[in-house]
Amino acid sequence: MSDKDGSTAGGNPIVQETCSDVARMQFAFTFVSGPTATPGPTPTGRVWPADADGFASTSGMGDTTTTGGAAGPTVTVTTYADLVRYATASAAYVIRVDGAITVTPYGTEIRVASDKTIVGAGTRGHIVNGGFFLGGGVHNVIIRNLTIRDTRVASDDPDDKDFDYDGIQMDTAHHVWIDHNTITRMNDGLIDSRLDTTYLTVSWNVLSENNKAFGIGWTTNVTSRMTIHHNWIHDDNQRNPSTDNVAYAHLYDNYLQNISSYGNYARGATKMVLENGYFDNVKDPYYRDDAAQLRQSGSIVVNSTGRQETGGSAFTPSSFYPYTLDPASQVPTLLRTYAGPQAGIGT
């Protein structure tokens, strides 16, 4: 699949994948019967630790883990001016967002500096008409428990090339934890992890109602490490995620529902491990191109058509960090209950 060069943000090219690109690829679609599992009982009493997991918790590039603004004071913001003041400051801060904050100008991505935690106070923290940008060298950032929403532009072209209004865009950042957010109805990507962003964990988020959900790549280097787990990705078109040239991509316990273009796609020299996903009404649930490796186990596919392709040994995630898998049959109920902002976080 070729990329299309679009607009720019932060001085870097934004590469676009178009629906027509996907349509031009010659796929042999067949009905996937798969297991007809009924979502099982969901574990209760989940505790949400303040510590990152996955690759964001591991050591590299001068950081031993991801702590965000834990070394600094906690401040509560209710205005856009205060959010920008603390998010862009050079000092460490834990920034509690208590209420709906409207971004201006429309579509602005707030430039987050290193050593920050931006967390919604319970379910009250909303970022409206804008998002966040983490530029080159930015590290040790936590974005958590927020609803980031609504930057659509009616006059944009169908593939969102004219207005680059992302929910969270990262260019050559590292040690980032994106956790328990709902990101929806943005004009370009919900999350874009670009230009060698690494030591990234994306967990327990709802990514929904968009053309492009989660794009990864925009680089010829093969250095990035990322963990993507317990995300409910639904009613989207492309990039769910599209994972290009990622050294280690670990996807587990994700729930893909109502996906019209393609699901988990390993591209370039990516090594992907996919475990215990649940795919419902997804076109091409998971597959790879010729150069990528994709190892899959434990996933459930229902009501879906198209490609389910694996190949290569990829890597062993447990050699980098500990983790616990939930059964795939429990994933839909689990994520409907616990993905997105939680009342007990940030209070």
Instruction: Please write the tens of the pLDDT for every residue from 199-209.
Output: 999 999 999 99
The encoded tokens of residue 36 equal: 């007809």
Residue identified by tokens 């208590």 is 98
pLDDT band at 153 (very low <50, low <70, confident <90, very high): very high
- Name the residue with higher pLDDT: 39 or 347: 347
pLDDT of residue 44: 58
Closest CA to 101 of 117, 81, 119, 87: 81
Q: How large is the average pLDDT for residues 1-12?
A: 35
CB 341 within 8 A of CB 120: yes
Q: Quick one: 316 exposed, middle or buried, by C-beta within 10 A (0-12, 13-18, 19+)?
A: exposed
Percentage of the chain surpassing pLDDT 90? 85
Q: How large is the average pLDDT for residues 40-54?
A: 78
Residue identified by tokens 């990101």 is 183
Chain centroid offset of residue 226 CA: 10
Sign, Cα dihedral of 67, 72, 78, 83: negative
Q: What is the DSSP letter of 112?
A: P
Helices (H), the chain: 19-24, 80-87, 331-338
Helix (H) or strand (E) holding 280: strand 278-282
State whether CATH 2.60.130.10 applies to domain 53-338. Answer: no
**Tell me: the pLDDT tens digits for 175-222?**
999 999 999 999 999 999 999 999 999 999 999 999 999 999 999 999
Window from 54-68, 113-127, 147-161, 217-231 with minimum mean pLDDT: 147-161
Reported pTM: 0.89
**Pairwise CA distance, residues 266 & 284, whole Å:** 12
What ranges do the domains of the chain cover?
53-338
Please report the DSSP string for 49-94 in residue order: -SS--GGGGS-BTTBSS--TTTTS-EEEE-SHHHHHHHHT-SS-EE
Cβ count near 298 (within 10 Å): 15
pLDDT of residue 158: 87
Q: How large is the average pLDDT for residues 31-54?
A: 62
Whether residue 22 is predicted with pLDDT greater than 80 in this model: the reply is no
Chain centroid offset of residue 75 CA: 26
Per the prediction, the chain carries an average pLDDT of: 90
* Per-residue buried b or exposed e for 189-212, using 16+ beta carbons within 10 Å of the residue's own CB: bbbbbbbbbbbbbbbbbbbbbbbb
**Tell me: the pLDDT tens digits for 93-127?**
999 999 999 999 999 999 999 999 999 999 999 99
Q: How large is the average pLDDT for residues 35-48?
A: 57
pLDDT band at 12 (very low <50, low <70, confident <90, very high): very low
Query: How many residues can be counted in the chain?
Result: 347
Residue identified by tokens 């434990």 is 298
Q: How large is the average pLDDT for residues 15-30?
A: 31
**Pairwise CA distance, residues 161 & 74, whole Å:** 38
Whether residue 273 is predicted with pLDDT greater than 50 in this model: the reply is yes
pLDDT of residue 46: 87
pLDDT band at 343 (very low <50, low <70, confident <90, very high): very high
CB 277 within 8 A of CB 287: no
Whether residue 287 is predicted with pLDDT greater than 70 in this model: the reply is yes
Q: Which residues neighbour 234 within 8 Å (Cβ) at sequence distance 6 or greater? A: 206, 207, 208, 255, 256, 257, 258, 259
The encoded tokens of residue 162 equal: 């004219």
pLDDT band at 6 (very low <50, low <70, confident <90, very high): very low
- Name the residue with higher pLDDT: 52 or 38: 52
